[in-house]
Amino acid sequence: MSDPYADDAPEGRFQLGFLQQLWPFVRPYRRGFLACLGILLASFGLELLGPHLLQVAIDGPMRSTSLPRDERLQALLWCGLGFVGTTVGGAVLGYVYGLLTAWNGQRVIRDLRRHLFDHLLSTSLAFHERHPAGKLTTRVTSDVENINELIATGVLQSVFDLLKIVGVLVALFFLDLELALFTVATTPVVVLLSVLFRRNAQRAYRAVRGRLALQNAYTTELIGGVRTTRAFGREGAVADRYAERNADTAASWRDTVLHFSVFFSLVDFALRATTIGLLWFGGSAVLDGTMQPGEFVKFWLYYGMLSAPVKELGEKYNVLQAAFASCERVFQLLAEPRFPPPPPAGRPPVPSPRRGHARIEFDDVGFAYGGNAPVLHGISFTAEPGQTVAIVGPTGAGKTTVLALVARLREATRGAVRIDGTDVRELDLADLRRRVAYVAQDLFLFTGSVLDNVRLFDPSIDEARVWRALETVGAAEFVRKLPQGLASPVQERGGTFSQGERQLLAFARALVVDPDVLVLDEATASIDSASEARLQQALEVSLRGRTALVVAHRLSTVRAADRILVLERGRIVESGRHDELVQKRGHYAAMLAHAEHDLQT
């Protein structure tokens, strides 16, 4: 099996498609980005102007003997002021540029992140089972952050750095052909260094990213499992596992930093070594009178301007690479099909308004998880409006899977599941979700308030309705006793509530939408008898007047059902009422014999 934590896009190559896919997110803010480019160009102009003013000062008023001293001093003052002006202007532009890029980038990232998260919520359960939550978290957080780097500064700055290098070289050639040729002759050394560096740094950087993603995923998972870890006293072992990952990450960071430091020092050295030659050749030119001293200074300063963009490009390359890898992963995620797939064109989903009742029909239904062997075979039965059908059977028989098919969390791979005669796959999904309420075995409470959890963040459900639902299931009493009532906080997946209380909240959550169909996976966890009685009552009230499909473990629930399906290894081996099945002395009777009060297997 492939490692679910493995890095999906380790290469990080640029693809034109990235820009195409990013464009819709950048488009609304394109003016802002254009402004940034304008600012960069303006600041480059100012940067070039500074040395030019110096040259003017040196070759003009400083050396010309034809003008009176006062005028020369005044001209020098103007040049000095101009120089200061370029510096101040550059600083102001830099400030505006920084603000603007951050602002642009954050807006794009906000939109992208939102889109990505929406998409994540709409992918199939099978997809989520294949990918650890921690890894998906990394997609939405750090991968998007990397893309920000690309959008905010990456592309613009790199293009600009290239422009700057070309621009400065052109300026050098205009200033002095021979000297420029000399400096260009030394660039292969720098280029060679960059290539060497890039290859090593690339590898190191990729390792860092991979390790970091791994560590993120592990952190999420290990923290999520804190209860189990505590319960078994395995803190030490878990911490050791974590420490290993942590050390790996640190080691790969060390590698990268090493490469960077060496590269920067070498580039600096190469550029400085060249200046010795510059001094020699330029100095000779000045002595021979073919070059003005001011021109020499200007040349020198322009030449110095090359170092920053060269270094920046070297550094940016890795950032960009990380961003490309992130792009690839994020777009891979966005390409993941939504579940359920959109209905075929020309066949709009069938509306399914709430009716107060529903008929559920399984017609020769088969189901397989992904490419695995089928876990349901030829399941056929009907639940008439208002009936309760109980499903019993050993663990792994496929009970939960049957429920998932009704709620259309998954889709049958053979046959059809119908509600009021229409295949659930053809029903409007929003309608279906309103009509069918699903209470899962491993119910989930969100961080928020009790109110949030019962109405699942749907503000159209008012508090009165929430109270009615709580009342119906018999949870009103315990909620009223909470220090802040409905507003009481739920933390850590409801860890501060008892199993029974959580169950009651889950019932209330299902009933508050007043569904036509209740699909219920009864929890097997044993709870105290008082809660048990309350739950029993809640269950009875909930089932009244609704079509219900219940995976049942309590004998009382099963006994009251209109029909019982005994499921074994994905097949219905028996079905009928409690009394009928008892008389049959088959599978059901055998299960009963094993368990006095509880059909839990």
Site residues for Mg ion per CB under 5 A: 400
- In whole angstroms, what is the distance from residue 182 CA to residue 277 CA? 8
Among 400, 496, 524, 536, indicate the residue that binds ligand ADP (CB under 6 A): 400
* Burial class for 191, CB neighbours closer than 10 Å (0-12, 13-18, 19+): exposed
- Size of site (CB under 6 A) for ligand ADP: 12
- In whole angstroms, what is the distance from residue 299 CA to residue 83 CA? 16
CA 31 vs. chain centroid, Å, equals: 27
Which of the stretches 333-341, 393-401, 510-518, 524-532 binds ligand ADP when contact is defined by CB under 6 A? Answer: 393-401
Instruction: Answer yes or no whether residue 550 interacts with ligand ADP by CB under 6 A.
Output: no
Contact between residue 365 and residue 379 where contact means Cβ atoms under 8 Å apart: yes
Give 116 or 506: the residue with its C-beta nearer to Mg ion.
506
What's the closest the beta carbon of residue 197 comes to ligand ADP, in angstroms?
A: 46
| 462-to-370, 401, 474, 512 alpha-carbon distances in Å | 40, 33, 19, 10
Give 105 or 415: the residue with its C-beta nearer to ligand ADP.
415
Positions in 363-382 near ligand ADP (CB under 6 A): 369, 372, 375
Which two structure tokens, joined as six digits, stand for 292? 């003005």
Q: Which is it for the CA torsion 493, 496, 501, 504, positive or negative?
A: negative
Q: Give the residue among 475, 407, 412, 408 at the shortest CA–CA distance from 438.
A: 407
Among 194, 274, 401, 503, indicate the residue that binds ligand ADP (CB under 6 A): 401
401 binds, among Mg ion, ligand ADP, none (CB under 5 to 8 A by kind): ligand ADP
Instruction: Answer yes or no whether residue 520 interacts with ligand ADP by CB under 6 A.
Output: no
What's the closest the beta carbon of residue 4 comes to ligand ADP, in angstroms?
A: 13
- In whole angstroms, what is the distance from residue 73 CA to residue 445 CA? 78
3-state SS string for 516-582: CEEEEECCCCCCCHHHHHHHHHHHHHHHCCCEEEEECCEHHHHHHCCEEEEEECCEEEEEECHHHHH
Tell me the residue nearest to Mg ion as measured from the CB. Answer: 400
Which of the stretches 210-218, 223-231, 299-307, 390-398 binds ligand ADP when contact is defined by CB under 6 A? Answer: 390-398
Which two structure tokens, joined as six digits, stand for 385? 């409006």
Instruction: Answer yes or no whether residue 398 interacts with ligand ADP by CB under 6 A.
Output: yes
- In whole angstroms, what is the distance from residue 456 CA to residue 481 CA? 21
CA 256 vs. chain centroid, Å, equals: 25
Residue 367 is classified by DSSP as E
What's the closest the beta carbon of residue 521 comes to Mg ion, in angstroms?
A: 6
Instruction: Answer yes or no whether residue 413 interacts with ligand ADP by CB under 6 A.
Output: no
- Pairing mode, strands 517-521 and 571-576: unpaired
- H or E stretch at 414: strand 414-419
Give 245 or 399: the residue with its C-beta nearer to ligand ADP.
399
What's the closest the beta carbon of residue 397 comes to Mg ion, in angstroms?
A: 8
Contact between residue 398 and residue 375 where contact means Cβ atoms under 8 Å apart: yes
397 binds, among Mg ion, ligand ADP, none (CB under 5 to 8 A by kind): ligand ADP
Give 193 or 519: the residue with its C-beta nearer to Mg ion.
519
- In whole angstroms, what is the distance from residue 425 CA to residue 384 CA? 20
Which of the stretches 157-165, 172-180, 388-396, 483-491 binds ligand ADP when contact is defined by CB under 6 A? Answer: 388-396
Give 130 or 597: the residue with its C-beta nearer to ligand ADP.
130
Among 397, 475, 508, 555, indicate the residue that binds ligand ADP (CB under 6 A): 397
What's the closest the beta carbon of residue 245 comes to ligand ADP, in angstroms?
A: 27
Residue 496 backbone phi and psi in degrees, to 5: -90, 0
Instruction: Answer yes or no whether residue 129 interacts with ligand ADP by CB under 6 A.
Output: yes
Which of the stretches 214-222, 237-245, 357-365, 391-399 binds ligand ADP when contact is defined by CB under 6 A? Answer: 391-399
66 binds, among Mg ion, ligand ADP, none (CB under 5 to 8 A by kind): none
- In whole angstroms, what is the distance from residue 316 CA to residue 309 CA? 10
398 binds, among ligand ADP, Mg ion, none (CB under 5 to 8 A by kind): ligand ADP
Instruction: Answer yes or no whether residue 395 interacts with ligand ADP by CB under 6 A.
Output: yes
240 binds, among Mg ion, ligand ADP, none (CB under 5 to 8 A by kind): none
What's the closest the beta carbon of residue 396 comes to ligand ADP, in angstroms?
A: 4
Q: Which residues bind ligand ADP (CB under 6 A)?
A: 129, 369, 372, 375, 393, 395-401
